[in-house]
């Protein structure tokens, strides 16, 4: 039997303490042929030196000036030659058997467009914290009545309108055809992974492996809250671009208009910036061609208007603008940080 060929891309940025573990977790995967491309995105903490010391036959390191995670991922995937593609961030790890389990899904259902798994949270030292079981728990924002939201559908497509339960590009394994149809990743700092999944799942099937095969590291340097207004702006942008097309999917309204209306009211969360979401949705849907992508240009005049409104809303502390603290306990601060991370880390 022919072994599957998988190209794995690690976008690396200032994770000198973790990147060797990420690399070894990929090279240790069995049951397939692996090509590993690490794109260092202008690290300044010694990561390139660490990577140069990890010589291996299946490892290639590419160094570039800092252009953002989405650019590093796009470059790596653009140079990949595998039939299947996967991504792992430089501070995360894969559990043994992850790629083999994902490839088994594609073998059973060749029409599957995206595979991911439950997530094992680990701390800075790699010790286990807790498990995120898809969209069932550890939500990035407080969900008061899950039974009245998209979570109740037990459907990966509709649940994705509420939250990026995949959490990170580290959770993505997909056939080359998915990349060719839906790539590249767009220039979003915090939400390029969510945007990509929504594009894929609008028409394609996804599968969640019910095992924690991704080890997601919670640490002080996660890309969270470094620029919270931009993070919330990107959440609004993603929803403005994707909610309407998903509502137009065949079968979306079959559960009934009343049920869907209630779910829409209780599933869409933008930290109090509902006016921004409404305005951006109208702009994207009815504005000039290409308005959606222009709103990703940092100098675009309309973007500056919407971003200023996000800043005012968050500063005013309107209801819903700041998620309440998660009660303490076994996870305590780790869960608080995870909520922020799942709302804004790629």
User: Each residue of 139-164: pLDDT tens digit?
Assistant: 999 998 999 999 999 999 999 999 99
pLDDT, residue 344, reads 47
Angle subtended by helix axes 69-79 and 192-203, to nearest 10: 50
Spell 161-178 as b/e; 16+ CB within 10 A means b: bbbbbbbbbbbbbbbbeb
pLDDT, residue 325, reads 32
Report whether 123 contacts 217 (CB < 8 A).
yes
pLDDT, residue 328, reads 31
First to last CA, the chain: 35
Q: What architecture is the 5-217 domain classified under in CATH? A: Alpha-Beta Complex (3.90)
Report whether 121 contacts 130 (CB < 8 A).
yes
pLDDT, residue 220, reads 76
pLDDT, residue 339, reads 54
pLDDT, residue 29, reads 97
The full set of domain ranges for the chain reads 5-217, 228-342
| Distance between CA atoms of residues 334 and 130, nearest Å | 9
Residues in the chain with pLDDT values less than 70: 1-2, 221-226, 318-346
Residues in Cβ contact with 187 at an 8 Å cutoff, skipping those fewer than 6 apart: 68, 70, 71, 296
Q: Which tokens sit at 124?
A: 């800075």
């Amino acid at each position: 039997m022919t072994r599957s060929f998988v190209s794995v891309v690690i976008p690396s940025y200032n994770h000198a303490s973790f990147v060797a573990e990420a690399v070894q977790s990929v090279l240790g995967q069995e049951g397939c042929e692996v090509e590993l491309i690490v794109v260092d995105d202008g690290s300044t903490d010694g990561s390139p030196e660490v990577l140069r010391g990890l010589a291996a036959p299946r490892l290639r390191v590419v160094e570039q000036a800092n252009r953002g995670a989405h650019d590093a991922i796009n470059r790596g995937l653009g140079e990949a030659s595998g039939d299947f593609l996967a991504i792992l961030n430089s501070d995360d790890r894969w559990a043994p058997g992850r790629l083999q389990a994902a490839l088994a899904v594609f073998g059973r259902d060749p029409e599957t467009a995206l595979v991911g798994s439950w997530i094992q949270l680990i701390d800075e030292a790699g010790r286990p914290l807790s498990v995120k079981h898809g969209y069932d728990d550890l939500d990035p924002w407080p969900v008061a009545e899950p039974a009245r939201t998209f979570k109740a559908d037990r459907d990966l497509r509709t649940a994705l309108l509420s939250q990026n339960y995949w959490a990170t590009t580290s959770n993505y394994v997909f056939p080359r055809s998915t990349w060719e149809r839906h790539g590249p990743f767009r220039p979003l700092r915090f939400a390029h992974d969510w945007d990509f999944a929504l594009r894929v799942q609008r028409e394609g099937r996804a599968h969640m492996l019910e095992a924690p095969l991704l080890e997601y590291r919670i640490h002080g340097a996660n890309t969270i809250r470094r620029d919270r207004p931009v993070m919330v702006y990107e959440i609004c942008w993603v929803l403005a671009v994707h909610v309407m097309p998903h509502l137009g999917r065949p079968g979306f309204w079959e559960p009934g208009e009343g049920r869907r209306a209630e779910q829409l009211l209780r599933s869409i969360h933008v930290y109090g910036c509902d006016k921004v979401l409404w305005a951006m949705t109208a702009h994207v849907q009815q504005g000039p061609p290409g308005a959606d992508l222009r709103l990703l240009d940092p100098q675009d005049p309309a973007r500056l208007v919407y971003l200023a409104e996000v800043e005012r809303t968050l500063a005013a502390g309107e209801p819903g603008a700041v998620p309440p603290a998660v009660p303490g306990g076994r996870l305590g601060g780790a869960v608080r940080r995870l909520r922020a991370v799942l709302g804004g880390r790629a």
